[in-house]
Amino acid sequence: MAIPKFDPKELKVVSEKASFMPGAGIPIYDFPVTPREAYRALYEGKPIWQMTGLEYQMFAPRVNPDNIARAMVIDGSPFTGAPTGGKDMFGIDWEFVPSVGGSIVHPGKPLFTDANDWEKKIVWPDVDSWNWKENGEQNKAFLSDTYWNQCWFQNGWFERLISFMDFEPALMALFDEDQQDATKAFFDKLADLYIDILDHHFHYFPQIDEMYMHDDWGSQKETFFSPALCAEMIVPSMKKVTDFIHSTGRFAQLHSCGQIYKQVPNMAAAGWDAWSGQAMNDSQKIYNDFGDKLLIGVSPDVFDPTTADEDEQRAVAKSYAERFCQPGKPSYFGMYWNGVRNGSDALTLAFREELYKQSRINYGK
């Protein structure tokens, strides 16, 4: 796909897209290609402009019981009222907590506390019995031909183990030599289940472009486990799933919370195409160190968009583009930011326009 050089006429605002965060709509410029085409170009190493989040459509289908349990249904099915949580695909109860906007499994009632018992305790879901056909019909119009369709998948490998065992026993299952073989076997079977579920997704929701899968690996200050342990215990089963995703022509992004700089090489080894770390991570350092291994969500230098004038905002955006919008080493805009609230605050109208212009110029070199 031949992309023309930047033309200032592209800055004409042709429409608006509703913002995921409260506030004004997001301006849609006169792009040379659709946002969906631009997102694919980024993943293929041929970026056109800096992706900022307006280019994708979030998708979390109701057919997956985890999305109901985690209060994260985003699809075209009929609205059923306020989120309440419920049972996930394994029958584990999750409770929605309005004050935090998410669901939890209450600790203290684990299904098992020794990983060697998982085969006796776990009842595996019958994926074929889920209401795929109806939910597929409900989402034909919801999924986009214009925007990148990013499908969320909650409860990865370590997170799933926590839901069964509680946090401390799950962590011990990774370290304890007497439990490690059983834990690896569980993760491997979990990978096979996830491949089956994703295969159903791609059949009934063929417009999906990317899987955005969750597995938290760290706290505010440090990773939960060493890189060596992660490489041994988690990476191989993850790689099975990302290999399957890639075999279908789709892409795979990891969502993983915490200060996990040390784990970035494991993300690349596990086959993830992209990761945007939370604000306790130095995203600019991560880009400098690992941006040639996977796409990194990079946040701008800290500034206060409520006090910085338009010239200052544009200067920060231009500097950001010069450093992180490199044709041979692309990135995307990191929404976690050590600023007023998060990265979306930096995307003022002036910042957004300057970032689009400068990234178009840089990536078109």
pLDDT for the residue numbered 23: 60
Which residues, in sequence order, are bridge partners of residue 102?
A: 97
CA gap 269, 27 in Å, rounded: 37
The 3-state DSSP class for residue 27 equals: strand
Contacts of 22 (CB under 8 A, 6+ apart): none
pLDDT for the residue numbered 40: 98
Walk along the chain (365 residues) in steps of 10 and give the mean pLDDT of each run.
Answer: 89 88 80 97 97 95 97 92 89 92 92 98 98 98 97 97 98 98 98 98 98 97 98 98 98 97 98 96 97 96 87 96 97 74 69 97 92
What residue segments make up the domains of the chain, in order of their start?
30-363
Which residues, in sequence order, are bridge partners of residue 213?
A: 153, 254
Contacts of 296 (CB under 8 A, 6+ apart): 274, 275, 276, 277, 283, 286, 287, 290, 331, 332, 334
CB 83 within 8 A of CB 62: no
Task: Considering the domain delimited by 30-363, tell me its CATH architecture.
Answer: Alpha-Beta Barrel (3.20)
pLDDT for the residue numbered 91: 97
Q: Which two tokens stand for residue 137?
A: 């019909």
pLDDT for the residue numbered 340: 44
**What is the pTM assigned to this prediction?**
0.95
